[in-house]
Structure 1
Amino acid sequence: MPADFEECGRFAWRACRDGTVEILHSLDTTTISDSTMIDGLTPLVLGGVLCGQEAFESAAVQVIESTAGTADAGWAAFYDNSVVELTSGTSPFGPVHRQARSLVRGHSVLEVGCCFGFLALQLAEDGHAVSACDITAGAIDHLTRQATRRGTPVDAVVGDATRLPFATDSVDTVTLIHLLEHLDEEAAIQAILEALRVARERVVVAVPFEDEPSEHYGHLLRLTEADLRRWADRVAHAGARTFTDHGGWLVLNP
């Protein structure tokens, strides 16, 4: 390792004269995945090297794109390895996706706040008719390209969770998996109402339980199971249940 880099967990870093940070890593197309990228960057966040969501996301993109000879090859490896880890359960987030997939009812599914769309890809490869939306156009572009490359049909569109661009009663299940903690209280309720409007059979909500909201992930709310029950009390539905499994879950019947 060059002498001017400082080790920090699995990665190393140095400050540049322009105020940016250069990160050194050993990940390649066989090892890059969502979990290995997060494992590498988290110590830099905890150490104060990366501050805030924008810095974290910028570093993540640079790590992914530097694992191969081209950015496209880096993204392809990132997606393929991440889906394998999530499906097999070797990713720390795998249990959340496994639970979400088990709670889907009916054939058609909408994943709201899909981010990279790993769950949407798994659901489509399970045989569901899948739509996905996220407020970030870049995330939708990546998902669309990778779904096409993998031959996996996912209808991905840019959309706001509080104003879903989908018709009433248009899909069987709507999922909001680790999305609502990114919103304030009233926006979270509006997102649940929108999901209930669009869903015919079920709405599935999952949130992390954190001591403090994770700033680098853009989290705003610290949530407990009591918050999920309170949310259920604030919306009209035909049945609700909450439970805990690697965080909190709220399952609503429209």
Structure 2
Amino acid sequence: MTIADLHRTFTLDSVSDGALVPVLSAMAAAGDLDGQRGFEEAMVHVIETCGDSPADGWHAFYVNSLAELRAGTVDFARIHRQALSLLSGSSVLEVGSCFGLFALQCVQDGHVVDACDICPGAVERLADESLRLGLPLTPRIGDARALPYPDRSVDTVTLIHLLEHLEPGDVATAITEAVRVARRRVVIAVPFEDEPSEHFGHLVSLSEEDLLTWAAPWVRCGVRATVFTDCGGWLVLDVAPCSDSGQIKPRLLAT
């Protein structure tokens, strides 16, 4: 399949994250796209040309993607549902928000939401769409390694499929920043892959052992840490003495 084929395939009714990503992943595996840059450029091109204007394309993408995630008809819906079940408190910060589809679902569920991403274009797009969708949140340009938020300013900080994008030496810094900002809980999710997905911008393959290694220094500090697997791996850090919501599953690490 070529980019021209994609242009003819997707319309305002059909364009969505769940529909586009498998097709583009197959093209990347076949060598038809040039790494992460080619993947991202193809995705943006399809979205912005599937309607009469780029704005219409992006709006359709957001509407359709949120609908399929809520309906549970795409693979990533399970990850978002798990993350939503683990939120503690009324305010959420999604770090590495990208399109902000998780952040927007948090707004739909009644949370006060901040979202940050290192890409200015993604932040601007999320700001525009959150207003158009009537789902107000506060997006901001921010680096996971130096979050632009005060200490203990948000109940739950999430890093959902973010840490695999960082160099190994930066992971501890990103987790430390999330713990600094969180009042109650930090929720981390990562994919388990045999090889890093280059077209997604993944730099490392991760396993449960990596999660246990990341948790260990926090456990020694008295933080309650939980590691479990479900469509990849999860690490939940309860940074407050009591965290009164969310469904924590084994395995619990002893302090």
Consecutive unaligned residues in structure 1, runs of 5 or more:
1-7, 15-21
CA distance in 1, matches of 2:136, 2:222: 31
Helix, strand or coil for the counterpart of 2:9? coil
Residue by residue over 1:179-202, the C-alpha shift from the partner in whole angstroms, topping out at 9 and shown as x without a partner, is: 000001121111000000000100
| 2:237 aligned partner, one-letter code | L
* Aligned match for 1:182, one of 151, 160, 165: 165
1:51 aligns to 2:34 (yes or no)? yes
Structure 1 residues 195 and 141: alpha-carbon distance in aligned structure 2, compared to 1, 3 A threshold: same
Partner residue of 2:24?
Answer: 41
1:92 is aligned to 2:78: no
Task: Name the residue aligned to 1:247.
Answer: 232
Q: Which runs of 4+ in 1 moved over 6 A?
A: none
Q: Of 123, 134, 140, which aligns to 2:106?
A: 123
Partners of 1:178 and 1:85 in 2: CA distance: 19
After the TM superposition, which of the residue ranges 90-99 and 22-31 deviates more from structure 2? 22-31
Question: Of Structure 1 and Structure 2, which has the larger fraction of its residues in strand?
Answer: 1
User: For residues 106-121 of structure 1, what are the structure 2 equivalents within 5 Å?
Assistant: 106-121=89-104
2:10 counterpart (23, 27, 35): 27
* 1:210-221 to 2 correspondences below 5 Å: 210-221=193-204
Cα 1:13/1:136, change in 2 over 3 Å: closer
- Secondary structure of residue in 1 paired with 2:12: coil
Q: Report the Cα distance in structure 2 between the residues aligned to 1:138 and 1:69, rounded to whole angstroms.
A: 21
Q: 1:25 to 1:44 in 2, by over 3 A?
A: farther
Residue 234 (structure 1) shift: 3.2
Q: Which residue of 2 aligns with 1:172?
A: 155
Q: How many angstroms does 1:23 deviate by?
A: 5.0
**Higher RCO (C-alpha 8 Å, min separation 6):** 2
Equivalent of 1:205 in 144, 168, 188:
188
Do the aligned partners of residues 40 and 195 (structure 1) sit closer, same or farther apart at CA in structure 2, a change above 3 Å counting? same
Q: Residues of 1 paired with 2:130 and 2:222: CA distance? A: 33
Compared CA separation, residues 117 and 46, structure 1 to 2 (3 A):
same
CA deviation profile, 1:64-122 (whole Å, cap 9, x unmatched): 11110111000000000001111111111000000000000000100000000000000
Please name the residue that 1:65 is paired with.
48
Deviation track 1:1-46 (CA, whole Å, cap 9, x = no partner) reads xxxxxxx3xxx357xxxxxxx8543110111000111122122101
Task: Provide the alpha-carbon RMSD of the alignment.
Answer: 1.2
Letter of the aligned partner of 1:134 in structure 2?
A: D
Q: What amino acid sits opposite 1:130 in the alignment? A: V
> Where does the alignment leave 5 or more consecutive residues of structure 2 unmatched?
240-255
Q: How many residues were matched structurally?
A: 237
Whole-Å separation in 1 of the counterparts to 2:212 and 2:126: 33
**Comparing both structures, which one devotes a greater share of its residues to helix?**
2
TM-score norm. by structure 2 comes to: 0.90
For the 8 Å contact 2:114–2:138, the answer to whether it is kept is: yes
TM-score between the two structures when normalised by the length of structure 1: 0.91
Q: Distance in 1 between matches of 2:99 and 2:217?
A: 30
- The SS at the match of 1:60 is helix
- Match of 2:85? 102
CA contact under 8 A between 2:25 and 2:199: conserved in structure 1?
A: no
Contact 1:205/1:250 (8 A) holds in 2: yes
* 8 A Cα contact 1:237 1:253, kept in partner: no
SS of the residue aligned with 1:114? coil
